[in-house]
Copies of this chain bind each other. A is one copy, B any other.
C-alpha cells in the first residue's frame, strides 16, 4: 500500500528520471512541455505517431476499439511511462486510441528524436525495453481480469490504479467514460459505483469522483491490482 505521502509526487517523469545525468542533458533540449487536457485524443488507431509523450502528471489511457462504438482500456500510462511505444518498436503508427484520462502535463519528443536517441548503446533503450515489459504485464493481467472478475472488483481495481497514477483521490470521470474503460455497459457501472458509494468508499456526482477509503476499496478489488502494482514497483526499484 502506498503511503499518502507518496500520492503527491513531484512533476517529473520516472523514465526520464532514471536516465544517467549526461544522457538526460543530451535529451533535454528536445523535450517540449505539453498540457494534457481532459478528454483530448492523443492518437487515433492508424495515426502516424509524430510525438511521444512522457507524462509528468495526469494519465493517458490506451484504448482498443470493440467493433461498433465500444472500447476497452488496454493500458494506463502515467508518470512511470511513455505514450508512443510503437515508435521505439520500429512501427510508425498507433494501434490504439490514446486519450487523456486525467488532466496534467507531459514532456514530448518528436518520433525522430526518440528514434535517434535509442539507436545506440544508451540507457534509454534498456529503460524502454523494461517499460515495454511492464506494460505487457499490465495488459496480460488485465486480460485475465476482464474475462474472469465481476464488474465491482474491476471497478475497484481501476479506481485504485488511476489514483496511484494521478497522485490524487479526486478525479473527473463519468459513468459513460468508465464503461468504455472497463468494456461494460454504462448501466452496469451505475450499479457497481452506486454500491461503492452506498458503502461510503467513494463519492461522485456529475463527472467528479472522490475516493474516500482507498484501503477498503483495495479489499474489494481483485488481486490483479496487487499483482500489477507489485510488478511495476519491482521494475522501478531495479
State how many angstroms separate the Cβ of A150 from the closest Cβ of chain B: 13
The answer to whether A132 and B130 touch (CB under 8 A), given A140-B96, A146-B143, is no
> Using Cβ atoms and an 8 Å threshold, which residues of chain B touch A72?
143-144, 147-148
Q: What bracket does the count of chain A residues touching chain B fall in? A: 35 or more
A223 interface residue, CB < 8 Å from B? yes
> Using Cβ atoms and an 8 Å threshold, which residues of chain B touch A17?
none
A39 interface residue, CB < 8 Å from B? no
Q: Which of A140-186 contact B (CB under 8 A)?
A: 140-144, 146-148, 183
The answer to whether A74 and B121 touch (CB under 8 A), given A89-B132, A90-B126, A130-B91, is no
A67 interface residue, CB < 8 Å from B? yes
> Using Cβ atoms and an 8 Å threshold, which residues of chain B touch A95?
137, 140, 231
A43 interface residue, CB < 8 Å from B? no
The answer to whether A90 and B144 touch (CB under 8 A), given A95-B137, A121-B120, is no
Partner of A121, one of B67, B119, B144: B119
Partner of A129, one of B65, B89, B148, B183: B89
Query: Are A89 and B143 in touch, CB under 8 angstroms?
Result: no
Partner of A64, one of B121, B126, B144: B144
The list of the 8 closest CB pairs from A to B, nearest first, reads: A143-B143, A89-B133, A89-B129, A90-B130, A74-B140, A146-B147, A64-B144, A147-B183
